Structure 1
């Protein structure tokens, strides 16, 4: 584990640095506090979006050109990196540093994903780590799979989410002009990168705008959202807990492959400052490969990681002894 002084600029309170005082003011779980106050306009919007996404899936499965399918997959990966390499590892956890060109690229990729501006996403995620699986956690997994997957976007926020969220320090992010620009112009940036360009570009090889919109924009967007939500839901319910058996997040290789390396969630919640988010390094971790590539051209630097010795000690101290499938790979791979 990196020394405490190396992480002062992270602006994140990590699970293994918390004390009981951090939870004294969190409202205890109760049936009354957990009543579902449904926001019906959100339900309607997400329902229509998913129906449109299913239609896009139908078109994807044989009604569009092969090049259009490939393009939709490429856009899905690019937008995914805006979440994993961008708002998650870079801006939420400060697990590495990025020079201006990379920050601009990742902000564009993040806008393409259409999952809120970086400043809002990072606020919720920092609260998630600081108050994980409590009522102050925006996507509290103890409220059930559906709630942590999508329900948290369909209900009014628990009072503690609002109270504790306002206390999250985002001063480091507001100091970045790239993020201030994205916040100011998020709607036009999102519309262009998430919907307009993915619809227009396939028409250059003869695809219809109708097909391109529903496949490369809508279907791709719905898949990207649900894949991201799996980290809040599935990763907090299933998987091995080789690093800390006392927390809900688990490690799952299949999920890691689906979410560009983010599925090693027990590791991530144990060592959230590690830029790899995994002990395994790069084999199933496309995001780590991307960051390593950016490091080779000088756009990413100061990548934080955890030593093999610290990982082994933590396994022995708090792990569930399911270590056989978790190979050590601390070398920086490409």
Structure 2
């Protein structure tokens, strides 16, 4: 499938008929054929199991591969892992890695503007799937992905994308069907239904995750954190965090947030199959969170008592001092890390960690003083 791009100025947008028919007919076929097949042939337990397993695998091709690795370089992997993720990404039937990542990088650069390829400002349906059906912004413009254009593996996947996708989406369900004696059932469940599910839960990140949810990290953009969406998108639902810290390999950065993509990358790292895992620093996260909370509570300060305002201001000053100390310790650690012997470096590391702890304590003290209405 070839995603949409830009029509010329003043011209009527061109309908991409293959994309439009594919995205309309596949869910329609799934809705009609599934109940009919179940009525006449029932369901073998292996069919929904295969659907979920392939949903996870091809979903990882998008979330761990296309999104967090190739689009944002939040982590990297040896060639065999990259090759597997490129094949799984192609099997998700969402275009090649080069095309997908180029459009996604434009989305981050131009979010909520007329140059955003799937801007929510154009409406839910446009952001969800119409942008794929109608020629829009940056059609076939890969200038935002020069690194991928030079990558031999991405070049190979881009050239043979259609063949890879067809081979996987027909061959794998067909093989599973031959193993179970349920060829048509597997083609339906592990093929058609799985493709529709992967498509639309990916699309919900472009649409629903820009309309419903919280914005704890940045209120100046439409992207929102939505824990419910995270359950069905392998952790991609923490979208406000992601747009605030796109280089972090985690979308759900807290340990308890549901992010199977983060866990999968972490597991690969433990066995030596992933490296260069990037994380947003605690001082950047605290500064971003403080900025957002300040914007919220400043509009309500006139309702507070003089005593509460003074307490908040004093706590805010302590927090700023703690953040400044933490930044200074981090800078000192970075500057001296290559110069110091192991013992001295360990002492400096303890000082840096202690500064981070004090900054967290100062943040919590300041945060607890702010009325709940301003924090929500």
TM-score range, shorter chain: 0.7 to 0.9
CA contact (8 A) 1:249 1:269 kept: yes
In the alignment, which residue of structure 2 is the partner of 1:72?
51
Deviates more, 1:255-264 or 1:280-289: 280-289
TM-score normalised by the chain length of structure 2: 0.71
- Higher helix fraction: Structure 1 or Structure 2? 2
Question: Does 2:289 correspond to 1:315?
Answer: yes
In the alignment, which residue of structure 2 is the partner of 1:157?
136
CA contact (8 A) 1:55 1:214 kept: no
In the alignment, which residue of structure 1 is the partner of 2:94?
115
Distance 1:263 1:133 in 2: 18
In the alignment, which residue of structure 2 is the partner of 1:263?
237
In the alignment, which residue of structure 1 is the partner of 2:3?
none
- Listed as ranges, the gaps of 5+ residues in structure 2 are 1-8, 298-376
- What is the RMSD computed on CA atoms of the aligned residues? 2.5
Distance 2:219 2:11 in 1: 26
Cα shift at 1:177? 1.9
In the alignment, which residue of structure 2 is the partner of 1:17?
none
> SS at 2:116's partner residue?
coil
Distance 1:96 1:272 in 2: 12
- Listed as ranges, the gaps of 5+ residues in structure 1 are 1-31, 323-334
Distance 1:289 1:41 in 2: 36
CA contact (8 A) 2:51 2:189 kept: yes
Query: After the TM superposition, which residues 98-113 of structure 1 pair with which residues of structure 2 at under 5 Å, given as runs?
Result: 98-113=77-92
Cα shift at 1:309? 3.0
CA contact (8 A) 1:101 1:299 kept: no
Cα shift at 1:292? 0.5
TM-score normalised by the chain length of structure 1: 0.80
Cα shift at 1:41? 4.8
Relative distance call for 1:133 and 1:118 in structure 2 (3 A) is same
Number of residue pairs aligned between Structure 1 and Structure 2: 288
Cα shift at 1:190? 0.8
> SS at 1:310's partner residue?
helix
Cα shift at 1:250? 0.4
Distance 2:211 2:12 in 1: 22
Query: After the TM superposition, which residues 272-287 of structure 1 pair with which residues of structure 2 at under 5 Å, given as runs?
Result: 272-281=246-255, 283-287=257-261
In the alignment, which residue of structure 2 is the partner of 1:306?
280
- The partner residue of 2:42 within 63, 69, 81 is 63
In the alignment, which residue of structure 1 is the partner of 2:113?
134
In the alignment, which residue of structure 1 is the partner of 2:300?
none
Distance 1:204 1:56 in 2: 22
Cα shift at 1:211? 1.8
Cα shift at 1:60? 6.5
In the alignment, which residue of structure 2 is the partner of 1:220?
194
CA contact (8 A) 1:252 1:264 kept: yes
Higher Cα radius of gyration: 2
Cα shift at 1:104? 1.1
Question: Does 2:177 correspond to 1:205?
Answer: no
> SS at 2:148's partner residue?
helix
Relative distance call for 1:286 and 1:33 in structure 2 (3 A) is farther
In the alignment, which residue of structure 2 is the partner of 1:178?
153
Q: Deviations over 1:40-88 (max 9, x none)?
A: 5543332221212223543479822011110111000000000000000
> SS at 1:249's partner residue?
coil
CA contact (8 A) 2:87 2:164 kept: yes
Relative distance call for 1:38 and 1:191 in structure 2 (3 A) is closer
CA contact (8 A) 1:239 1:251 kept: yes
Cα shift at 1:33? 7.0
Distance 1:241 1:52 in 2: 37
Relative distance call for 1:56 and 1:69 in structure 2 (3 A) is farther
Relative distance call for 1:97 and 1:199 in structure 2 (3 A) is same
Distance 1:152 1:84 in 2: 20
Q: Deviations over 1:264-309 (max 9, x none)?
A: 0000000000000233246410000100011011111111101233
In the alignment, which residue of structure 1 is the partner of 2:29?
52
CA contact (8 A) 1:89 1:95 kept: yes
Distance 2:163 2:198 in 1: 20
Question: Does 2:166 correspond to 1:191?
Answer: yes
Relative distance call for 1:117 and 1:162 in structure 2 (3 A) is closer
